[in-house]
Amino acid sequence: MKVLNIIETAYRATLEEQDDPVVWIIHAMKGAGADHDVLLRGNAVNYTVMAQGVPPLMFGDRVQKHAPRIAEQVAGLIAKGVQVMVVRECLAARGIGEEELMSGLTMVHQAAVPKMMNGFDQVWHW
């Protein structure tokens, strides 16, 4: 079974979970043999920007270690053979240039997405 994961909501619980929980569960399922691809749209296209960082997090004297490194986690999916697609129009709407992105991504046009879904057994919209 091949699944397309459309990730649209971005930075959901990333500080509390030290990652994006959707990217995390795809990593975990991939490790268990699942066949996944990913389409990033909406605000989630920012996950592919390399020059992003999280400032230190501190409450009172409690220092939180291990800030999330979202771009690295997405790049890790590509390294595992997951095709990570990005909707061009969503990048353009946010003023994000392709030169800012990690390598290994597949750019797709919004209009091509419905037809592309035919290549998957299931589509999960996160």
Partner 1 sequence: MMGKKTLTFMLMDAPFENARTTTALRLIDIAARRGYDINVFAYEGAVYMPLAAQAKHANAVHGHDAAQEDHPLPREWVEAVMQETARNGGKFDWVNCGLCVDERGAAEAIPGVRRGSPADFWKMAGASDNVLVIPTK
Cβ–Cβ under 8 Å, residues 116 and 108: yes
Does 121 engage in binding with partner 1 (CB under 8 A)? no
- Taking the C-alpha atoms of residue 119 and residue 94, their distance in angstroms, rounded to an integer, is 28
Cβ–Cβ under 8 Å, residues 98 and 91: yes
Which listed residue (56, 62, 95, 97) binds partner 1 by CB under 8 A?
62
Nearer to partner 1, 62 or 115 (CB): 62
Q: Which residue has the tokens 């691809």?
A: 37
Least distance CB 49 / partner 1 (angstroms)? 17
Nearer to partner 1, 11 or 120 (CB): 11
Nearer to partner 1, 16 or 89 (CB): 16
Please give the residues from 22 up to 61 whose contact with partner 1 meets the rule CB under 8 A. Answer: 24, 27-28, 31, 57-61
Does 120 engage in binding with partner 1 (CB under 8 A)? no
- Taking the C-alpha atoms of residue 19 and residue 109, their distance in angstroms, rounded to an integer, is 27
- Taking the C-alpha atoms of residue 94 and residue 64, their distance in angstroms, rounded to an integer, is 30
- Taking the C-alpha atoms of residue 38 and residue 19, their distance in angstroms, rounded to an integer, is 16
Does 88 engage in binding with partner 1 (CB under 8 A)? no
Residues of this chain that bind partner 1 (CB under 8 A): 11-19, 24, 27-28, 31, 57-62, 64-66
